[in-house]
C-alpha cells in the first residue's frame, strides 16, 4: 500500500467534509464516507461502528462487508477487536486478525477473507463514540503514517457525530452523540427529587470546523493562541505570591505543559494532515486522555485534569467561546459540573432544581450548601459532563442517587408521579406545622432544624421546627477567599438570632478539615483525613481563629441566650479546653464592658465512640450533647461514609448501634444533660421513630424532613414501639428494622 502524504490526507479530509455537507439522510452520509475512506486508503473494507447504547456497538455502515449485516451486527464493549478498540481507546493494528486474542468471527459480515485489520477509536475528549475500521486481504500491518492518518479522519468523524451529522432518515437513530437515554448511578449527596433542564457549569467548547483549508493559517492561529495561553499562566504565576506552595506547583505544571514542544509539534502535525487548529487541540487531548486513563501510575492519571483544563483554555482562545456563552439559564435548571465550590453554588442559589457532580463527597462544601438550600444533589455521576448538553431533559433522584438523562417518556412519567406524590405529602405535612410531635402515649419529641445560611432561617417557622439544633458556622468561612472579620461574623450571628426570635439556635464552632478545606488554608496531605486534623483539633491548634469566632458569637448574641457546641470531641480534655476558652472570652468581654449572653449553654458533639465511655465528670460538665449520627456511625462500624462499597452495608437500626445509643441516652439522663440526635438518620422517619422510642428527646434534621417525621410520631405509640424493639433485641435479632417496619405496617 502506498503511504499517504500530507496533501493526500488534506485531500481526503476536504472530500470527507464535502461528503458530510451534501444533503441527504444520516445513513446515506455514512455509506458515502465508508466508500470514500476505503478508496482513499486503498483497502477493500471500511466500516463504521457506533454506540447504540453505552455498552453496545453496532455496525452502522460498511464498504466491503456484507451490506445485509448493517444494523444487525452488534457487539459488547470489549468484545472482539472492534470492542477492544472501543474499550481501551487505543488503535489495534495487525496483519493477521484471526490470530489476535479476542478475535470474534462474524460470518454474517463475510470478513473471514480479510487478514489485515486497523481499528481506531472515534472519540472526543475521552467520550467514546465508536470505532473506524479498515481491512484488506493483504496480510501486513499498516504503517505508522496510515494509522496516524486514520486517527485524523476519526477525529473529524467524532466532531461531525457530535454535531449530529448522521441524524436523518433510515439510520435508526444511530450515530447521533448525545441522543441516548443514559442513567447514571451516583451517590446521594442531598435527598429529594427534581426534573429540569441541564445547565452546564462549564459548557463544552463546540468545534464546528474540524477541517482546515489553509494549514499555514491554521498553524498561525494555533501559535497565537498558545502564546496567549502562556501569557495567561504567567499572569497567574505573578499573582501567586500569596498562594500556598501546592497552588503554585499546579501553576508551574500548567506552565510546563503549555510550553511543551512535543504538545505543539503533535498539534502542528495534525494541522499539516488537514485538521483545523481547534480539531488538532481536541485530537491531542483525546489521544492523551485515552492513554493516561489506562496508566497504572496515579500521578499520570492525575495529570488528566491539568491536560483538560489547559486544552479547554486553548480551545476557548481559538473559538472565542468563553465560559459565558450568552445562553440564558432555563427556568428549571439542573446544574451539571465536574465539581463546584460553595461560593459558586451559592451564586446560583435557590434557582436550581438540582445539582449533579462527577466528583465531590457527601461532606463536601457543595453538599453542605445543597443541603442548606434543600436542593437534591447526586455526586460521583461519572462522565456526565461529557454526555450532557445544555437543555437536555434530566431527572435527579437524590433519594436513590440515580440520574436519568434524556429519559424515555415512561420513565419521566413515573418520575413525575413520584414528585407529585411528594408534593402532595408536603401539603398534608404543612397542616401539622403548628401541632406538637406528640405520640399516642402523650410523649412529645422536640424537632429542630439544621441550618448554615441566612437563607435557611425562613424555614424555621414554615417547617414548624422548635429551633435550630445545628447551625453550621463553617459555611461563612468556606464561601470566602479570606478569613472573615470578627465584626462580619458577629453581625451575621446577630441576624441569625434576630431571625430565630425566641427559638434557640445551637451554634457549632468551625468544623473544617477532612473534605472541608478552606480556600485560604494549606491543604493537609493526610492518608485518612476523616480521622485526621479536623474540627476541634484545628480549633485548639489554631487558638486565634477559635477565640475570634467565640468573641463574634458572644457579641452577636447581644445579651440573649447563647448555645455553643464544639464538634468532633474525642476526649473530655478537648471539651474542657474548648469550654475554658469560651468562658475566658466571656470574662474578657464582660471586663471590657460589653454585654454578654444572659444564659450560656456549652455542649459537645458526640461523634466518636470513645466519648460514649467518657467519665461521669464529662457528662456533668456538658450542658447538652448532640449525637452526630453521620460520623458516629462510620466510626462505630469502621465504614467510610464516602465509600459506596461499605457505607450502605451497616444499618442504623443494627442492634449493637442502637444499644450504644441507648447507653448514651441513659448516661445523659442520669446527669441531667440535654440530648439531641443530629444527622441524616434524624430526618428519616423510620430511623427517627426508633431513636425517639429509645428515649432521644430531640431530633435535628433538614427542614423538609420535619413534616414526615412529625406525622409518623403522632401516629405511633413510642412506649409500645420501645417494647417491640427491646423484645426483638433480646430475642437475638441483629437488625431491628424488621420489627420496626412490622409495627409501622399495622398503624
Q: 132 falls in which pLDDT band (50, 70, 90)?
A: very high
The answer to whether 336 and 390 are in contact (CB under 8 A) is: no
Which residues does 644 contact at the CB level (< 8 Å), separation at least 6?
187, 380
Q: Which residues contact 132 (CB under 8 A, 6 or more apart)?
A: 37, 46, 47, 48, 49, 119, 120, 121, 122, 150, 153, 154, 157
Task: Of 213-222, 513-522, 528-537, 600-609, give the lowest mean pLDDT range.
Answer: 513-522
> Which residues, 6 or more positions from 237, have their beta carbon under 8 angstroms from its beta carbon?
248, 251, 252, 255
Q: In terms of pTM, does the model score above 0.95? A: no
The whole-number average pLDDT for the span 459-482 is 81
Count of CB atoms situated within 10 Å of the CB of 107: 9
Which three three-digit cell numbers place residue 428?
A: 398534608
Q: Which of 178, 365, 404, 711 is catalytic?
A: 365
Catalytic residue among 46, 60, 668, 678: 678
pLDDT tens digits, one per residue of 637-691 = 988 877 767 777 889 999 999 999 999 999 999 999 999 999 889 999 999 999 9
Question: Strand pairing partners for 506?
Answer: 563
The distance of Cα 543 from the centroid of its chain, to the nearest Å, equals 34
Cβ 94 vs Cβ 100: under 8 Å: yes
CA distance 546 to 549: 5
Nearest Cα neighbor of 154 from 317, 349, 9 is 9
Least confident of 2-6, 113-117, 399-403: 2-6
- β-partners of residue 444 are 438
DSSP state of 525: -
Residue 176 has pLDDT above 70, yes or no: no
3-class SS of residue 723: helix
Compute and round to an integer the Cα radius of gyration of the chain.
31
Contact call for residues 248 and 242 (beta carbons, < 8 A) = no
Q: List Cβ neighbours of 347 (8 Å cut-off, separation of 6 or more).
A: none
Which DSSP category does 357 fall into? E
The pLDDT, as a whole number, for residue 174 is 41
Listed range (398-412, 434-448, 513-527, 594-608) with the worst mean pLDDT: 513-527
C-alpha dihedral sign at 3, 5, 9, 15: negative
Mean pLDDT over 621-646 rounds to 89
Q: Pick from 5-9, 295-299, 709-713 the range whose average pLDDT is largest.
A: 709-713
For the chain, what is the total number of helices (H) and then of strands (E)?
Answer: 27, 23
165: Cβ contacts below 8 Å, ≥ 6 apart? 20, 26, 29
Active site residue 201: no
678 is catalytic: yes
Amino acid at each position: 500500500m502506498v503511504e499517504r502524504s500530507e496533501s493526500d490526507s488534506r485531500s481526503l479530509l476536504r472530500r470527507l467534509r464535502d461528503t458530510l455537507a451534501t444533503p441527504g439522510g444520516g445513513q446515506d452520509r455514512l455509506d458515502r464516507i465508508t466508500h470514500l475512506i476505503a478508496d482513499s486508503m486503498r483497502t477493500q473494507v471500511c466500516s463504521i461502528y457506533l454506540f447504540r447504547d453505552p455498552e453496545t456497538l453496532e455496525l452502522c455502515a460498511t464498504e466491503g462487508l456484507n451490506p445485509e449485516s448493517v444494523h444487525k451486527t452488534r457487539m459488547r464493549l470489549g468484545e472482539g477487536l472492534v470492542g477492544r478498540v472501543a474499550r481501551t481507546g487505543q488503535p489495534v493494528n495487525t496483519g493477521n486478525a484471526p490470530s489476535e486474542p479476542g478475535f470474534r468471527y462474524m460470518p454474517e459480515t463475510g470478513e473471514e477473507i480479510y487478514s489485515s485489520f486497523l481499528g481506531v477509536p472515534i472519540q472526543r475528549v475521552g467520550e467514546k463514540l465508536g470505532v473506524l475500521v479498515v481491512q484488506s486481504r493483504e496480510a501486513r500491518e499498516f504503517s505508522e503514517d496510515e494509522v496516524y492518518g486514520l486517527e485524523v479522519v476519526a477525529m473529524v468523524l467524532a466532531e461531525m457525530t457530535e454535531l449530529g451529522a448522521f441524524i436523518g432518515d433510515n439510520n435508526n437513530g444511530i450515530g447521533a452523540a448525545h441522543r441516548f437515554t443514559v442513567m447514571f448511578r451516583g451517590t446521594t449527596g442531598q435527598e429529594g427529587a427534581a426534573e429540569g433542564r441541564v445547565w452546564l457549569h462549564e459548557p463544552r467548547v463546540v468545534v464546528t470546523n474540524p477541517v482546515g483549508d489553509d494549514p499555514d493559517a491554521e498553524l498561525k492561529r494555533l501559535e497565537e493562541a498558545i502564546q496567549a495561553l502562556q501569557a495567561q499562566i504567567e499572569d497567574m504565576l505573578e499573582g501567586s505570591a500569596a498562594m500556598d506552595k501546592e497552588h503554585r506547583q499546579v501553576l508551574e505544571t500548567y506552565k510546563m505543559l503549555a510550553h511543551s514542544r512535543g504538545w505543539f509539534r503533535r498539534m502542528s502535525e495534525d494541522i499539516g494532515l488537514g485538521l483545523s487548529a481547534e480539531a488538532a487541540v481536541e485530537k491531542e487531548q483525546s489521544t492523551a486522555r485515552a492513554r493516561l486513563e489506562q496508566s497504572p501510575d496515579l500521578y499520570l492519571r492525575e495529570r488528566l485534569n491539568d491536560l483538560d483544563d489547559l486544552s479547554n483554555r486553548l480551545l476557548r482562545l481559538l473559538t472565542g467561546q468563553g465560559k459565558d456563552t450568552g445562553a440564558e439559564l432555563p427556568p428549571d435548571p439542573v446544574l451539571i459540573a465536574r465539581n463546584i465550590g460553595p461560593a459558586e453554588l451559592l451564586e446560583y442559589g435557590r434557582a436550581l432544581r438540582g445539582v449533579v457532580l462527577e466528583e465531590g463527597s457527601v461532606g463536601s462544601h457543595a453538599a453542605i450548601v445543597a443541603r442548606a438550600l434543600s436542593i437534591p444533589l447526586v455526586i460521583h455521576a461519572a462522565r456526565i459532563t461529557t454526555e450532557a448538553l445544555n437543555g437536555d431533559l434530566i431527572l435527579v433522584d437524590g433519594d436513590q442517587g440515580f440520574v436519568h438523562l434524556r429519559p424515555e417518556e415512561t420513565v419521566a412519567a413515573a418520575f413525575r408521579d413520584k414528585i407529585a406524590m411528594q408534593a402532595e405529602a408536603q401539603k398534608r405535612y404543612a397542616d401539622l406545622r403548628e401541632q406538637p410531635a406528640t405520640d399516642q402515649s402523650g410523649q412529645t419529641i422536640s424537632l429542630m432544624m439544621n441550618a448554615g445560611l441566612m437563607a435557611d432561617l425562613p424555614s424555621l417557622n414554615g417547617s414548624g421546627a422548635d429551633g435550630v439544633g445545628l447551625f453550621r458556622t463553617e459555611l461563612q468561612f468556606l464561601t470566602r477567599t479570606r478569613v472573615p472579620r470578627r465584626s462580619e461574623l458577629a453581625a451575621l450571628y446577630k441576624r441569625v438570632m434576630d431571625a430565630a426570635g425566641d427559638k434557640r439556635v445551637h451554634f457549632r464552632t468551625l468544623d473544617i478539615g477532612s473534605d472541608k478545606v478552606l480556600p485560604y488554608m494549606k491543604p493537609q496531605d493526610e492518608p485518612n483525613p476523616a480521622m485526621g486534623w479536623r474540627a476541634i483539633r484545628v480549633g485548639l491548634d489554631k487558638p486565634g481563629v477559635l477565640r475570634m469566632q467565640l468573641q463574634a458569637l458572644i457579641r452577636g448574641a447581644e445579651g440573649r441566650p447563647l448555645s455553643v457546641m464544639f464538634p468532633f470531641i474525642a476526649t473530655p480534655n478537648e471539651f474542657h479546653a474548648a469550654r475554658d476558652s469560651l468562658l475566658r472570652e466571656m470574662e474578657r468581654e464582660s471586663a471590657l464592658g460589653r454585654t454578654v449572653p444572659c444564659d450560656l449553654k456549652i455542649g459537645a458533639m458526640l461523634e466518636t465512640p470513645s466519648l460514649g465511655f467518657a467519665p461521669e465528670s464529662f457528662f456533668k460538665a456538658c450542658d447538652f450533647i448532640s449525637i452526630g449520627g453521620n460520623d458516629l456511625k462510620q466510626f462505630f462500624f469502621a465504614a467510610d461514609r464516602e465509600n459506596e462499597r461499605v457505607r450502605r452495608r451497616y444499618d442504623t437500626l443494627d442492634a449493637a448501634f442502637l444499644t450504644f445509643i441507648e447507653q448514651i441516652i441513659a448516661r445523659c439522663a442520669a446527669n441531667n444533660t440535654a440530648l439531641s440526635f443530629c444527622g441524616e438518620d434524624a430526618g428519616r422517619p423510620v430511623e427517627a421513630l426508633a431513636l425517639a422510642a429509645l428515649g432521644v428527646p430531640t431530633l435535628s434534621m433538614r427542614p423538609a424532613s420535619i413534616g414526615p417525621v412529625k406525622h409518623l410520631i403522632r401516629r405511633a405509640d413510642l412506649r409500645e414501639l420501645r417494647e417491640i424493639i427491646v423484645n426483638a433485641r433480646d430475642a437475638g435479632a441483629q437488625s431491628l428494622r424488621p420489627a420496626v417496619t412490622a409495627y409501622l405496617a399495622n398503624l
